[in-house]
């Protein structure tokens, strides 16, 4: 029995006042990172919140393995976005989160990877803050880290890279206004999120701005999952190789000398149960 229900059972209380207080009770929104796909990569806190939530508002990239951890009491609301197929505008998602919290529910807003890395998590929190809705953030493993680990590509191996840059390759209006000169410098690793459709152009720009056509690059699809596929090639050949292999979204592109290390560090076994 909740504290509200308990109070209502007491004959001496002012019932209208109690009802008004209950109506004002507001839930918390937990902005939770679901990691890159493999449910074993969730944080313990994320798993606990999924068990306890009243409602889980989830995205396209949150896989079945993670959703299986949601408690049976929770309502599941899918608000996923896919390229060119926005199922719910961002403003409606923001409104939904505020509404659900104002119903007094504990809301898990579940996003792929980490909610603050190319995930619009910050935008959603700004709306909650403006509406006076309490919130907490639970970080997740971002795709760059999870996917590179499972592809056997150490992003900042110190023999090859002094820095690692995460960029989005999402082409707005078919153009990509990245700082190509900076991205084309050697001794760094560049990780490109959402770059599959513009892969050809991305590789061309990196070569045009100074990297060798032989520079190593890889695309990983469905990283961390049993369906993971990795194509390693060069900037000159990557787009064609990825096309030949038929890789599908979600895909992450990794550019840099560290890609070569996969030849000896590829450890991923699709039947992880055998490896554990």
Ligand X SMILES: C[S@@+](CC[C@H](N)C(=O)[O-])C[C@H]1O[C@@H](n2cnc3c(N)ncnc32)[C@H](O)[C@@H]1O
Q: How far apart are CA 237 and CA 220, in angstroms?
A: 15
Is residue 14 part of the annotated active site? The answer reads no
Residue 134 vs residues 91, 126, 140, 165, 215: alpha-carbon distances, Å = 19, 11, 20, 32, 47
Q: What SS3 class is residue 78?
A: strand
Q: How far apart are CA 248 and CA 32, in angstroms?
A: 25
Residue (29 or 105) nearer to ligand X, CB: 29
Is residue 272 part of the annotated active site? The answer reads no
Piece of the chain touching ligand X by CB under 6 A; list 16-24, 46-54, 139-147, 204-212:
139-147
Q: What angle do CA 89, 95, 99 make, to 5 degrees?
A: 145
Give kind and range of the element (H or E) at residue 163: strand 163-168
Q: Do 217 and 233 contact (CB within 8 A), yes or no?
A: yes
Piece of the chain touching ligand X by CB under 6 A; list 71-79, 99-107, 222-230, 255-263:
222-230
Residue (27 or 256) nearer to ligand X, CB: 256
Q: DSSP code of 222?
A: S
Give the contact letters, 77-96, x = binds to ligand X (CB under 6 A), - = no: --------------------
Q: DSSP code of 192?
A: E
From the list 30, 32, 36, 62, which residue makes contact with ligand X (rule: CB under 6 A)? 36
From the list 149, 188, 224, 229, which residue makes contact with ligand X (rule: CB under 6 A)? 224
Give the contact letters, 109-128, x = binds to ligand X (CB under 6 A), - = no: --xxxx--xxx---------
List 38, 40, 54, 59, catalytic entry: 59
Largest interatomic CA distance in the chain: 81
Residues of the shown chain interacting with ligand X in the complex, contacts defined by CB under 6 A: 36-37, 61, 111-114, 117-119, 142-143, 147, 193-194, 220-224, 249-252
Residues belonging to the active site: 59, 81
């Amino acid at each position: 029995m909740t504290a509200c229900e308990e109070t209502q059972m007491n004959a001496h209380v002012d019932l209208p006042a109690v009802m008004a207080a209950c109506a004002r009770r507001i839930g918390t929104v937990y902005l939770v990172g679901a990691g890159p796909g493999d449910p074993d990569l969730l944080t313990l806190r994320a798993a606990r919140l999924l068990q306890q939530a009243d409602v889980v508002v989830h995205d396209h990239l949150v896989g079945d393995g993670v959703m299986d951890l949601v408690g049976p009491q929770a309502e599941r609301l899918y608000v996923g976005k896919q390229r060119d197929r926005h199922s719910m505008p961002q403003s409606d998602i923001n409104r939904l989160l505020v509404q659900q919290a104002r119903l007094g529910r504990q809301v898990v807003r579940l996003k792929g990877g980490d909610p603050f890395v190319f995930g619009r998590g910050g935008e959603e929190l700004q709306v909650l803050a403006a509406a006076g809705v309490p919130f907490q953030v639970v970080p997740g493993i971002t795709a760059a880290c999870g996917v590179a680990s499972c592809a056997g590509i150490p992003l900042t191996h110190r023999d090859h890279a002094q820095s690692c840059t995460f960029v989005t390759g999402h082409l707005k209006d078919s153009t990509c206004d990245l700082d190509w000169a900076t991205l084309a410098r050697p001794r760094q690793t560049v990780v490109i999120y959402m770059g599959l459709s513009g892969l050809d152009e991305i590789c061309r720009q990196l070569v045009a701005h100074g990297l060798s056509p032989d520079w190593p690059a890889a695309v990983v699809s469905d990283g961390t999952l049993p369906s993971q596929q990795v194509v390693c090639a060069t900037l000159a050949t990557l787009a064609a190789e990825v096309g030949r292999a038929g890789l599908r979204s979600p895909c992450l592109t990794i550019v840099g000398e560290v890609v070569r290390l996969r030849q000896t560090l590829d450890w991923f076994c699709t039947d992880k149960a055998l490896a554990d």
